[in-house]
Amino acid sequence: MSLPGRDQSLHLVLGPTASAKTGHAIMLAAAVGAPVVAIDRIQVFDDLATISGRPTAAELNGTRRVYLDHRLLREAKTDLTVAEGLARLRRLIGRLGPAVVLEGGSISLWQAIFATLDNGRIEPHLRLVEDWDAHAAAIEDRCVAMMTIARPSMLDELAAALTEPAMRRVAIELIGVKAILGWCEDHGVPPATLGAYNEDAGVARSLARAMRPALVAHARRQQDVFRALLAGRPHELEVVR
């Protein structure tokens, strides 16, 4: 079965971490009257909403955002596989109406999606980073914001996820989490107490700087993969400022 379905159009929003994909998708969804499906294998975890970058209800601005699943990390036996994600996406877009916006940064899911795409009624939108120094700073600032927002913050989520072996197995594979564990070891901070630093801007900045290299490297890889996927396909390109 290929994507999209008969008489259906797909708007695809791709880009690296912190390239404002979600905001672009929300504006697009409002303009065309379509729901957004999150192409993300981590946003399916309701207890990792902050670290996975889920938008708040206010940020959605009345648009509808749909996730490929709803799981709790403490209850899930495995993370969402690519095959599961693609199967769920096919079922979802089949009943979401004549237009659907797909937005996210999952390399593995996008690769699977592009392997099934028809050429017709596809409108890809690529968010492109050119100034990587500025983007690295933006990634760091975003991490600080996620660590210091009203609870549950990224630190609350990590404190819970890193204390139970079954949850830790998934959480430790998230981009940048190994750097946080290294920071905890260097500073003598038990991971289970990370939530105590929600209001400490200095600790948040130090943690964000520790995460930054891994997140920037991942963002660069995302951009390389997405540009390759779109090579030879007409698409809208917008440089991230």
Q: Which residues contact 36 (CB under 8 A, 6 or more apart)?
A: 25, 26, 29, 63, 64, 65, 66, 100, 101, 102, 103
- DSSP for 161-199 reads HTSSHHHHHHHTTSTTHHHHHHHHHHHT--GGGGGGGTT
Report d(CA 11, CA 25) in Å as an integer: 9
Q: What is the mean pLDDT of residues 15-40?
A: 96
**Structure confidence at residue 151 (pLDDT):** 73
Provide the residue ranges of all domains of the chain, joining segments of one domain with +: 9-130+221-239, 133-218
Mutual orientation of helices 177-187 and 201-230 as an angle, nearest 10°?
Answer: 160
How confident is the model at residue 119, as a pLDDT? 65
At 164 the pLDDT is 85
> Is the confidence at residue 20, as pLDDT, over 70?
yes
Is the pTM above the cut of 0.85? Answer: yes
For position 185, what pLDDT does the model report? Answer: 97
Q: What is the pLDDT of residues 133-176, one digit of tens each?
A: 999 999 999 999 999 988 799 999 999 999 888 888 889 999 99
pLDDT of 183 reads 97
Does residue 4 register a pLDDT over 70?
no
Residue 31 CA neighbour count, 13 Å, CB half: 8
CB 9 within 8 A of CB 98: yes
Question: Would you say domain 133-218 falls under CATH 1.10.287.890?
Answer: yes
Across the range 80-84, mean pLDDT stands at: 94
How far is Cα 4 from Cα 37, in angstroms, rounded to an integer? 13
Q: Do domains 9-130+221-239 and 133-218 have the same CATH topology?
A: no
CATH fold of 9-130+221-239 reads Rossmann fold (3.40.50)
- Whether the predicted pLDDT of 52 surpasses 90: yes
pLDDT tens sequence across 179-217: 999 999 999 999 999 999 998 999 999 999 999 999 999
**Is residue 68 within 8 Å of 41, Cβ to Cβ?**
yes
Tokens of 116: 């099934």
Q: In this predicted structure, what is the pLDDT of residue 5?
A: 65
Residue 140 CA to residue 88 CA, distance in Å, equals 33
* Those residues with Cβ within 8 angstroms of residue 240's Cβ, 6 or more apart along the chain or in another chain: 15, 19, 20, 127, 128, 129, 130, 135
pLDDT at residue 75, as a whole number: 85
Weakest mean pLDDT among 41-50, 111-120, 147-156, 222-231: 111-120
- State the chain's mean pLDDT as an integer: 93
Report whether pLDDT(1) > 50: no
Which pLDDT band holds residue 117 (cuts at 50, 70, 90)? confident
